Amino acid sequence: MIAQATIPPVHWTVWAGFVACVLLFLALDLGVFHRESHVVKFKEAFAWTLVWFALAMCFAGALVPWRGKQDAVEFVTGYVIELSLSMDNVFVIALIFAYFRVPPQFQHRVLFWGILGALVMRGVVIGLGTGLVARFAWTLYVFGAFLVYSGAKMLFADDEGVHPEKNPLIKLAQKLYPVSHGFEGQKFVTRLNGRRALTPLALTLVMVETSDLVFALDSIPAIFAVTTKPFIVFTSNVFAILGLRSLYFVLAGAIQYFHFLKYGLSLVLVFIGVKMLIDPHDQPAKWFQLEIPTGLSLAVVASIIVLAILFSVVMAKREKHSQPS
């Protein structure tokens, strides 16, 4: 076993190589596998979900001989947390597509560019977050309290839907450019009365990017309850985001079966927030400190999500059978 104290920092060439591999995967996705717009069916989406999951697990396996078992466990735990919290984002994206009436064959393109933008935004947020934690250790307590608040708010708040008319970026885009009345295929930009104009697909993309930024404020602080190592935080986030597109097409057709998943996600946020408050990564706790092993955290988070999904499916089937023909 590799001792954590003897592991050197990740060299910048490794960071560059990882980012290059991600860009290569995205280029193959859009330029080869989804070059032509088409409706992504459940079987195709499920297969891609398995592919991204397998790649994440292979990466975790490669971490064991390279960085040690602890880093691998932290990566898997962070990946599961980020992927779980992304499920709530999936349902918001479904509402956005329904609001703008985006044809199914164009949804993958919006998600592709949305994910690309999300990777950039999360990279910036992760950089800021790790910098704050490294310089101000008490930031972990702030993140923990924020997660407990966010989890409680999610637990008791009603679904508010999406409101593009309240989005400041949507308002800015509409002030700067006219918007066409209909879709122009996969185009985000078109010509209207001789002027460059945005299509409804472009406004959809702005909404998707905005929603991911909001969710990043919850999901990224959550992973700091598991690790503060920048490379583990970044890679676990990237793999979770890469699998978000296919996960959307897997879950979008069965949203009605996941009514209670929101409560599971809120409990995950509260648990992670509490963990961050009482187990602040070897930082000197001033009032109370209790170590919660990373493996136990992984088991708790996975159990909450699985039970929430199972309960949602069982209750949905009971409601369906109880309804009169």
pLDDT tens digits for 288-308?
567 788 888 899 999 999 999
Dihedrals phi, psi of 197, to nearest 5 degrees: -135, 155
Distances (CA, A) of 195 to 109, 178, 186, 189, 280: 24, 8, 19, 10, 55
Low-confidence ranges of the chain (pLDDT < 70): 1-6, 31, 33-34, 158-161, 253, 256, 279-289, 323-325
pLDDT of residue 299: 92
Identity of residue 260: F
pLDDT of residue 199: 93
pLDDT of residue 238: 93
Helices (H) and strands (E) in the chain, counts: 11, 2
pLDDT of residue 158: 64
Tell me how far apart the alpha carbons of residues 34 and 108 are, in angstroms, rounded to a whole number.
8
Tell me how far apart the alpha carbons of residues 110 and 128 are, in angstroms, rounded to a whole number.
27
Pairing relation of β-strands 195-198 and 189-192? antiparallel
The domain limits of the chain are 11-281+288-322
pLDDT of residue 203: 93
H or E stretch covering 74: helix 69-100
- pTM, two decimal places: 0.87
